[in-house]
Amino acid sequence: MFFILSRLLSVFLSPLIWIIILLFLSIVYKKKLRRSLFTLAMALLLIFSNGAIFHFVASLWETPQKSVTSLDASCRTVVVLGGMASENRSNGLPRFMQSSDRLWQALWLLQTGVADTMVISGGKGTLFDKQRSEGLLLVDYLEDIKVMDERILVEAKSRNTYENAVKTSELFTRRGMSKKIILVTSAFHMPRAARCFKSQGFQVETYPADPLSGVRPLQWNDYVIPSAGTLESWEILFREWVGFVMYRINGYFKEQNQHDQNGLAQKEHV
């Protein structure tokens, strides 16, 4: 039920939808309210299309980028989360999205010897579209380009971040693998993902990919020129914030919170 509800409500987390609704109301409402509604719509448009404002807010939320040398050398398994590709129904190949940076960063860690094993975790995250499981789609792709080998494992049944953690934990238990991992996902998604994996008993080294806040210094146009792409980025960030709150309400971080409380109690005792 939570999975279905989250997919249905996500459409209302778009600033563009809010602006369209306000503009519509400014037309149909009484004359004395029209100017206020129109002004509010324009104000939201200017705020949520400003790249500098978005960069500042996103950088406060996202897990900071880090160098490979800062990773714990004892973590030899990299876990990369799905949400980066969907099936192109015309040819059956994956259609990669911005978050596919997750895959390329994880493959780099594997191919350069930073990690010995890579686990891809991702199933069907769509509600109505009959897509192939993302994990299996990526396996076929990696086989086609001669990259797939025995070092790459796949969990292809999870539908969301919580299930990524649960079903990956089950995979690790079946194989007797150490739960010390390098977790690779988008920087905006890492705060929620890391907590989910820690709640399942993983010791997590984070290695965030494709930050929404960008990897270059801000330019003058980021401050003054409205950007349609920035409107879309806000929608991604809003969905993530709502997801984080709902996961906390549903108790998906419960075990991690208890672990933190136990650690705090031990420190106070010492």
Q: What is the pLDDT of residue 120?
A: 97
Residue 122, token pair as written in the block: 């991702």
Q: What is the pLDDT of residue 176?
A: 96
Taking only the tens place, the pLDDT of each residue in 49-81 is 999 999 999 999 999 999 999 999 999 999 999
Measured distance CA(27)–CA(216) in Å, rounded? 41
What's the mean pLDDT when you consider all of the chain?
Answer: 88
Residue 87, token pair as written in the block: 């099936």
Q: Give, as one character, the DSSP assignment of residue 235.
A: H
Q: Minimal CA–CA distance to 48: which of 184, 229, 221, 182?
A: 229
Taking only the tens place, the pLDDT of each residue in 188-230 is 999 999 999 999 999 999 999 999 998 888 999 999 999 999 9
Global pTM reads: 0.85
Q: Which domains does the chain have, with CATH numbers?
A: 2-62+226-248+259-269 (no CATH), 68-210 (3.40.50.620)
Query: Under a CB-based contact definition with an 8 Å cutoff, are residues 163 and 133 in contact?
Result: no
- Report the chain (270 residues): mean pLDDT per 10 consecutive residues: 56 86 89 88 96 96 94 95 91 91 96 96 69 89 94 94 96 96 98 97 96 90 93 93 92 64 39
Q: CB neighbours of 64 closer than 8 A, spacing ≥ 6?
A: 187, 208
How far from each other are the two terminal CA atoms of the chain, in whole angstroms?
44
| CA atoms lying within 13 Å on the CB side of residue 123 | 16
Residue 162, token pair as written in the block: 């919580």
Query: Under a CB-based contact definition with an 8 Å cutoff, are residues 131 and 88 in contact?
Result: no
Q: CB neighbours of 63 closer than 8 A, spacing ≥ 6?
A: 187, 190, 191, 194, 206, 208
* Sign for the pseudo-dihedral over CA of 186, 192, 198, 199: negative
